[in-house]
Amino acid sequence: MAKATRESFGDALVKVGADPRHVVLDGDLMKSNMTYLFKEEYPDRFVECGIAESNMVGVAAGLALSGKVAWASSFACFLAGRLETIRMSVGYNEANVRLAGTHAGIGIGDDGASRMALEDVAAMRALPNMAVIQPCDDVETQQAVEYLANGHEGPAYLRLTRQKV
């Protein structure tokens, strides 16, 4: 059965969360981004930042620069809209932050046009030191999260879907 990559992301976060270096930050969308699954397992390493994505990115960068692997998640359009903060705090510092942008592209259904991230890939690719990964399905998402957890150093943007693929 098809599964949205955001759902796979939530499942994969729980698995990598067994390593205490991993922390998850969320922009008041934990039910949509599936980060609530991590919160249920590891509540002491989950930070709800509210509707304040620039602040979330800054906190994630600070955690990463002090030795953590920070996963900051919000809708892709909200992350792309914080490009200056990502560039300065994450990109230039080569901070070990994983930005997980969900609801990417035009296939987001009821969330509407204002939530469509269309420029996010171009924006993230323009940043220094930023890896961009868009898995196509459940298996690739699980593997991408595993790679970002254990095989990649530095900033990364993980682009995820709302719709089941």
Return the CATH number at 151.
3.40.50.970
**Using one digit for the tens of pLDDT, what is the confidence trace for 23-62?**
999 999 999 999 999 999 999 999 999 999 999 999 999 9
Domain that holds residue 148: 5-159
- 10 Å Cβ neighbour count for 13? 26
Q: Give the model's pLDDT for residue 163.
A: 87
Is residue 165 in some structural domain? no
What is the three-state SS of 80-108? HCCHHHHHHHHHCCCCCEEEEEECECCCC
Q: Give the model's pLDDT for residue 108.
A: 78
**Using one digit for the tens of pLDDT, what is the confidence trace for 53-100?**
999 999 999 999 999 999 999 999 999 999 999 999 999 999 999 999
Is residue 164 in some structural domain? no
Q: Give the model's pLDDT for residue 77.
A: 94
Annotated active-site residue 53? The verdict is yes
Average pLDDT over all residues of the chain: 95
Q: Give the model's pLDDT for residue 159.
A: 98
Is residue 17 in some structural domain? yes
**Residue 116: phi, psi to the nearest 5?**
-80, 120
Is residue 41 in some structural domain? yes
* pLDDT average, residue stretch 128-150: 97
165 falls in which pLDDT band (50, 70, 90)? confident
Q: Give the model's pLDDT for residue 44.
A: 98
Of residues 7, 40, 53, 140, which has the active-site annotation?
Answer: 53
Q: Give the model's pLDDT for residue 111.
A: 73
Q: For the chain, how many structural domains are there in total?
A: 1
The C-alpha atoms of residue 11 and residue 28 are separated, in whole angstroms, by: 18
Is residue 131 in some structural domain? yes
106 falls in which pLDDT band (50, 70, 90)? confident
* pLDDT average, residue stretch 142-159: 97
**Residue 75: phi, psi to the nearest 5?**
-65, 145
Is residue 85 in some structural domain? yes
* pLDDT average, residue stretch 18-22: 98
